[in-house]
Chains A and B, each alone.
Chain A
């Protein structure tokens, strides 16, 4: 069964770029969609966007100007970059398999603070 693991800095300064990677194991990243979702502390889930293994993407319109999702099939990984972060971007970030999530990573908390 596929497993997903998020990795990246847990602390990012305001105005900088948040960068996370999701490593996929137990299956190939090829031929599937892959998503990023986040959850602010004590709040609900927010869809960030998804990528197809070929590289085509689709983003939440409210984040589109700041988000980039990319894929590296050679490493079986996909990544999230969110620029110009503020405290409002503090959240647990989840990666998942599917344009609509079927399998989820455990999540990683990213705090935006100076």
Chain B
């Protein structure tokens, strides 16, 4: 089974920009992995922010964007807010299998 890797932790200043990445042990992440990004705050269920690399839900704040960057999937937060402090998970699709990354704990400080 593939392993999906994320930065364990990142810190961003309020109003700042940060990029979280999602890599695959099998090689380059492409749009064919249909990258998803989820936000989870303590004690809450995850919410889906980004699907199919860069598509947003109606509830996704405009400051979040998804892309492919340097062979990985990326989630960029531009203009970080205190409420963006959370755990972020990516999900990649491998044929019929789905694999979550280990998560990135984002601190806004």
> Contact residue range for chain A?
20 to 34
Task: Tell me if A103 and B48 are in contact (CB < 8 A).
Answer: yes
Contact of B47 among A58, A62, A104 (CB under 8 A): A104
Which residues of chain B are within 8 angstroms of A58 by Cβ–Cβ distance?
96-97
Which residues of chain A are within 8 angstroms of B48 by Cβ–Cβ distance?
101-104
Distance of A57 from chain B, by nearest CB (Å)? 10
Assembled-state Cα–Cα distance A103/B99 (Å):
18
Distance of A59 from chain B, by nearest CB (Å)? 9
Contact of A104 among B45, B51, B100, B102 (CB under 8 A): B45
Task: Tell me if B100 and A100 are in contact (CB < 8 A).
Answer: no
Assembled-state Cα–Cα distance A4/B98 (Å):
21
**A: which residues have CB within 8 A of B?**
35, 37, 44-47, 50, 58, 60-62, 94, 99-107
